Structure 1
């Protein structure tokens, strides 16, 4: 190869490093600059070294059927898919059309792809090549991007090519290498080697026109004696002049051959030779008319596919045809293609004006694509169907559906664009309510702009009195209450929502009671709280019909109900709601919704002091949210994870998760995230002995009413120690009103402990004893330990040593069990100060705190007897990653085999 010695040496070095952990390289350059030639050389070198090579190629043009490129890439190793975790295997095979199954989640497909590649790589390594990555179908490109970002230290080298400017986002962790035109000396050497017969004048003209582009040098030289060097040729890009050279004289081809060539150019990447020939027959061409195309180096047979000699040929042929000629080619293909999705796209490409029949075909194609799990392609079909819709009502409906599908696909920009387009023309209550729901879900999960709650109230008030209007009105207001609970939390907005619900929702509806109890727990909680269990049955019935959603998105009633339960301080019922929601979406492989549920369940675990379980949930939610692009869900997960790490006294991990949380909310107000960040940051400041800073940090918990109540005793401690006792007393008085109204043992335990902390002298003892009694009644052993610690400290300071020792020892045992290293250390120091050092030393140390959350969860599942593959299926990891976590966990726990794990973790 001439002129590419530096690039090949670099890529050879990358191959050298493959076994010790692969790398990702993107080879970027203009058309014809030689990317494929370099890739071919690297593939030959990899095969010479014994590295397996997998190749996938993107094809320019529409890609109506998703995962086409991924199938080509993985086809040689699909026989090993049986070794994948069950759900990952089912998702991958369903996505590739190998077997029937439920709609595969893109994240599961990405995990399965990674697992398959890791197994194929083994210890020797593997080269994964993706040519023309930007032209890969969107679903396949998402899977490849996932692998690039989650390889870890797996020995997988990925080499992708892209035309300059077509891959703005690149690949995670990739090194981009730009393939520049050949230098003057190399260009002369290449031209001399390929066209030694050229005269001096033509040689100079070819060198000048080609500009160092290797393909241009070859093609211009081949056509030099008859190439029409037009005066404007110098003003055209090399790629345009290359197209002309590659096509040669199309007019000289037989008309039937030209028709076949255009049909081949119009076909999609799944097109086969029989399809092209049959479509050509309808255009008056036969199989024999392929011969002139092959003789002129325009196309070549590759298996059952007709491949163009260069991608430029395809785009040049299609671009040179008239609009009418292109429409005819797509129509012929639509008549012969068996797949309804592909046929609908060809029919749409041939349609130049609104057409309800074609729009309906595309809508059906979108539904099929959704079933196959190729959501980006489903969105594209709905967008095109909307364009072809003759009526505004049908257009609005299709745009509304497209916005929701794009949201599910993790495409917030596309979803928001469709939403913005649909809002001005939506007229039916169903569409308007659907758009409002999508708008709020986008805001709560991705952080896109959202109209204020007042806009929802106005829309709800504008609806009529029919059954559809009533349903839409409740959806509006429920979504608005959910938005307030997550993002706003202010008393002013709560008051406006309360007035709207009272005015616009009929009495007797459980949704009315749920919304009122959320926005004003003290006023409506006493009547609603005893009925919560019965109301949950109504919510489940409204959400599900047997084992499926009654309509798209109806399951989201359960998170709203869980938030209501949290507002009314019924943590057990809230946990049940989150678990029902998680189980449904886990079974449906809807991982974004499962991440949302894990966040909710994880927070309840942390409140109960089950820190390992809380971290397992929130870290898994963070992984799933990151994989699905759910930035605000990731922000909530990181904030709760920071809180759990703070209790475990892992300052470095807590600060890292706090930084992640701030990054994911992009420094914008978001009540739920802000309040939990503030709580975690306040605990870290208290731990560091900076009560003044803790008071300032903990001021942020007020952004979210429920979180503010749960953090009350920490706020009170920071207030007393930081010189803000009076403000802390006012907060305790306000919280006591809520506790009195709701009658929650859990909340009363916190309030009594906080009041004891801000009460001077012996008057605090009654609150201390009441806090312990209420914590015992609630069954929350973590809160009980915190109340015992607070009372034990109070007693020791008053020299009542014997009862102080008993309380402190009991608290220490619970903190050790929970892995709460900071309060455990605090209880241990108090015991020693009370003269009970032997008691402190007898309490087991918090050993599992040295494990990362993922290592801890993997170790516990392995101790329970699950295999690596079963653990990978449950935790959404690859089996290799599970093995790595165990490899790191064993020495930390002082064990050498799985059989020793149970005792080490006890």
Structure 2
């Protein structure tokens, strides 16, 4: 490390330097990843400390990415991170790597995953430091990456050092974060700083002047520089010495002062070409101004751009501009940047500071910028679209076109209430009929997400009476079909969907066709016509790959699990909806009885939704996780999932979640022995539609029948069995539909022969848990009839299936069935190993496979390829492994794996 801290910004920072040194050394020594946050006001010394840490890391062999966020770059995707990733010595990423990232910047989750893979691979050989200065100015995509990447790289030797004026609010699981709030310097530290600059004793008047710096080292250094340069201690007012900028500005030539003011408008860092364009002079004619500004220690040249020596210097120059002059310069900067062929991302930050109502160019550029960032930064896109609408004069016809874009952008960003209010405000202006229809059409998506299908039906019906455009008519009809898919008359809904598809094909409108196929698939699946649902969703998936998961879900309902696996493998490295893909994989693994893998997939889906801040499937995810927990016998975990569901439903009511929520309430109440309450919850699940209408609940109809019978409601049990029978009739080629129908009927009628038929049917299906449940009930029925010999094979099969699935609670119930039925000890078919929460024995089989691959040197990506899962799922497994083993790095994990394998524990995979 360099000699003791004697430079401005480091005096009085010995404690902070010690903690930064400890972070660097811990990451270097294999303790896992870490985050350091340096927080404080401008000039407090954050940058100086960061530079010192960067130097220390380089001395310890780190590969360093040292970036800087800038205020006017908030629309340039990944600019803040890229400023360091590409310019190290050596650079952390190659230009080829970054070009690959840039080509997929519209897929946020994929981009972050790919960036994580690149950093992980680079850190395999040497530790990595990623430093970002002034993170409060980071562009939204860089902020998103910084919120996700530290947790994703938890086990890798990567140190993240961020400076900011306030906490950047990183969220998600990650390594321990060290926060270093920088306080004002003490009087002792300021005195040491004064001796560094002035030498010898510090005059009392200088000490008084330093009091005016408020402990800010930059301001103190400026005061001392002024004293050192002029020797004036008693005559210079503190205001003139504080910052040390205005006195320098007063001595500059007018042309240089004008040049600096233009530069302050362009940002802390700016190109000479941009400043020349804004000043209306050739760049070659500004050399004198540049030289004078550099000589006055106001600017420095990094070879590519001119930079104000500190942002406080730029702010001081900028503050001297009258507000009207600032606005005019920002507006002119936007126009000149556009004229020079620059992107909307360069011009729009200036427009946000300068545009006034009626500025048509600004409205157009804001709209273009909104569309440019809509897929990767939906929140920013919504802000830009709303700002464009605010600039449109209230009665201008342009308001409808701009307003339509704002509704779409707000809906994509999940701001459904604001989108609806924006649309209704435009409709209140009584637009022409064709505009009225278009607005109602785009509001259809908003109302769908708000789960207001009654209003959606009413509005589409009204708009269809006014529409003349064939494409808009087709879209409205398709929206109407989607709304009716939630209603009771599914035959009428199907007719509407078929009409919408015909209209879409006649109009040649892609959006209408997608909506119509989607609606028809939803209608068929809700009606229980799984073959028709598969046909529609397959056509939709071919037409738009974003709907591949809908096709996969339809295949799951058809019991064609092999086709599902083949289809999911075609998703490739850049799936358009990664959270939905993980949900679908989890649904498949639940069907296959792979409970640990299913839970990991569901955790992954929830994490990805949280990363994107669109938790639309949270209730269904937690319902499935709660059901899994109960199969394992973990009632506490099931109740925790139920608490999350209750809070989510209270915060965001959605009738589509009612049945799934109530069913989990029923299962928990049943497990607690409150059978009447459990039966009432099942009745509640049918409040709007029959139980089998809810696709998520179909695999659980037998469990619902059990709950009804235990709750003394035979009529409810008969109704459920009748629904299962009708579903089997509609799906004669689906073994699970036929087998569960037979199972449900057998329970209602206490018919062992029908239970045997259910078992025979389910033996030909792909769902081991359904077969285990039927086998268990058959075994119990045979025991009750006194035929223990015939019961044993059925109970053994059920026990083995439950054990392989990890359904420990159900396996234990089957194992003790003979004792509960006859009063005699049952045949011990195996010994269950209690599931612990910590240590190697707590790891699932999949987690052990991941642990061994990572310990052997695999990256998350190569481990995912070896296991034929996504890197997201490997990351979920790895986070669980680290938590259970209480480790933070791959080095520590490798030691544990080696010790376990040496002890002979490699026999459980």
Q: Taking structure 1 as the reference length, what is the TM-score of the superposition?
A: 0.77
Matched, 1:58 2:42: no
State the alpha-carbon separation in 1 of the partners of residues 531 and 305 from structure 2: 67
* Counterpart position of 2:44: 33
SS class of match (1:631): coil
SS class of match (2:294): helix
Cα drift, residue 4 of structure 1: 2.6
* Counterpart position of 2:445: 437
* Counterpart position of 1:293: 293
* Counterpart position of 2:736: 746
Distance 1:228 1:437, change over 3 A: farther
State the alpha-carbon separation in 2 of the partners of residues 754 and 821 from structure 1: 23
Residues 478 and 501 of structure 2 are in contact (CA less than 8 Å); yes or no, is this contact kept in structure 1?
no
SS class of match (1:27): strand
Distance 1:672 1:795, change over 3 A: farther
* Counterpart position of 2:459: 459
Matched, 1:134 2:118: no
- Farther-moved stretch of structure 1 (43-52 vs 210-219): 43-52
State the alpha-carbon separation in 1 of the partners of residues 461 and 216 from structure 2: 65
Residues 679 and 711 of structure 1 are in contact (CA less than 8 Å); yes or no, is this contact kept in structure 2?
no
* Counterpart position of 2:604: 620
Distance 1:801 1:204, change over 3 A: closer
Matched, 1:711 2:711: no
* Counterpart position of 2:310: 310
State the alpha-carbon separation in 1 of the partners of residues 566 and 500 from structure 2: 29
Cα drift, residue 764 of structure 1: 2.8
State the alpha-carbon separation in 2 of the partners of residues 849 and 406 from structure 1: 48
State the alpha-carbon separation in 2 of the partners of residues 386 and 531 from structure 1: 43
Residues 860 and 871 of structure 2 are in contact (CA less than 8 Å); yes or no, is this contact kept in structure 1?
no
Equivalent of 1:94 in 92, 100, 105: 100
Distance 1:103 1:111, change over 3 A: closer
What do the CA deviations read for 1:356-383 (whole angstroms, capped 9, x no partner)?
A: 4454445445555568x56666556545
State the alpha-carbon separation in 1 of the partners of residues 600 and 169 from structure 2: 35
Alignment of 1:312-351 (within 5 A): 312-321=312-321, 322=325, 323-336=327-340, 338-339=342-343, 341-342=345-346
Cα drift, residue 314 of structure 1: 2.1
Cα drift, residue 299 of structure 1: 0.8
* Counterpart position of 1:793: 780
* Counterpart position of 2:53: 42
Residues 81 and 142 of structure 2 are in contact (CA less than 8 Å); yes or no, is this contact kept in structure 1?
yes
State the alpha-carbon separation in 2 of the partners of residues 429 and 73 from structure 1: 49
State the alpha-carbon separation in 1 of the partners of residues 92 and 873 from structure 2: 14
SS class of match (1:840): coil
* Counterpart position of 1:756: 746
Cα drift, residue 796 of structure 1: 1.0
State the alpha-carbon separation in 2 of the partners of residues 470 and 562 from structure 1: 30
Residues 738 and 761 of structure 2 are in contact (CA less than 8 Å); yes or no, is this contact kept in structure 1?
yes
Alignment of 1:660-679 (within 5 A): 661=645, 668-670=652-654, 675-676=659-660, 679=663
How well do the aligned residues superpose, as a CA RMSD in angstroms?
5.0
State the alpha-carbon separation in 1 of the partners of residues 386 and 672 from structure 2: 55
Alignment of 1:410-809 (within 5 A): 411-412=413-414, 417=418, 420-425=421-426, 427=435, 429-438=437-446, 440-441=448-449, 450=450, 452-463=452-463, 464-466=466-468, 467-480=470-483, 484=486, 494-495=487-488, 506=499, 531-536=532-537, 538-540=539-541, 543-544=543-544, 555=546, 570-572=557-559, 588-590=574-576, 593-607=577-591, 609-611=593-595, 614-649=598-633, 657-658=641-642, 661=645, 668-670=652-654, 675-676=659-660, 679=663, 695=679, 701-702=685-686, 705-706=693-694, 707-721=696-710, 723-726=711-714, 728-729=716-717, 731-732=719-720, 735=723, 738-739=726-727, 742=730, 746-759=736-749, 763-772=750-759, 774-776=761-763, 780-809=767-796
Alignment of 1:179-194 (within 5 A): 179-191=182-194, 193-194=196-197
State the alpha-carbon separation in 2 of the partners of residues 672 and 559 from structure 1: 19
State the alpha-carbon separation in 2 of the partners of residues 220 and 514 from structure 1: 68
State the alpha-carbon separation in 2 of the partners of residues 342 and 163 from structure 1: 24
State the alpha-carbon separation in 2 of the partners of residues 770 and 311 from structure 1: 78
Cα drift, residue 221 of structure 1: 4.4
Cα drift, residue 132 of structure 1: 0.9
Cα drift, residue 70 of structure 1: 1.1
* Counterpart position of 1:267: 266
State the alpha-carbon separation in 2 of the partners of residues 639 and 779 from structure 1: 22
Equivalent of 2:163 in 161, 164, 181: 161
What do the CA deviations read for 1:47-93 (whole angstroms, capped 9, x no partner)?
A: 444444432211223433221111122223886758xxxxxx99854
Cα drift, residue 264 of structure 1: 2.5
* Counterpart position of 1:490: none
Matched, 1:855 2:857: no
State the alpha-carbon separation in 2 of the partners of residues 668 and 341 from structure 1: 34
Cα drift, residue 407 of structure 1: 6.3
Alignment of 1:62-211 (within 5 A): 62-75=73-86, 76=88, 93-95=99-101, 97=102, 101-122=103-124, 125-164=127-166, 167=168, 174-191=177-194, 193-195=196-198, 202-203=205-206, 205-211=208-214
Cα drift, residue 793 of structure 1: 0.8
Residues 226 and 241 of structure 2 are in contact (CA less than 8 Å); yes or no, is this contact kept in structure 1?
no
SS class of match (1:210): coil
Residues 812 and 843 of structure 1 are in contact (CA less than 8 Å); yes or no, is this contact kept in structure 2?
no
Residues 517 and 536 of structure 2 are in contact (CA less than 8 Å); yes or no, is this contact kept in structure 1?
no
Cα drift, residue 768 of structure 1: 2.4
State the alpha-carbon separation in 1 of the partners of residues 46 and 178 from structure 2: 15
Cα drift, residue 883 of structure 1: 8.1
Gaps of 5+ in 1: 83-88, 234-240, 442-449, 485-493, 549-554
Residues 816 and 844 of structure 1 are in contact (CA less than 8 Å); yes or no, is this contact kept in structure 2?
no
Cα drift, residue 789 of structure 1: 1.6
Cα drift, residue 301 of structure 1: 0.7
Matched, 1:248 2:247: yes
Q: Taking structure 2 as the reference length, what is the TM-score of the superposition?
A: 0.76
Gaps of 5+ in 2: 1-9, 428-434, 503-512, 883-889
Cα drift, residue 137 of structure 1: 1.5
Cα drift, residue 795 of structure 1: 0.7
Cα drift, residue 31 of structure 1: 1.7
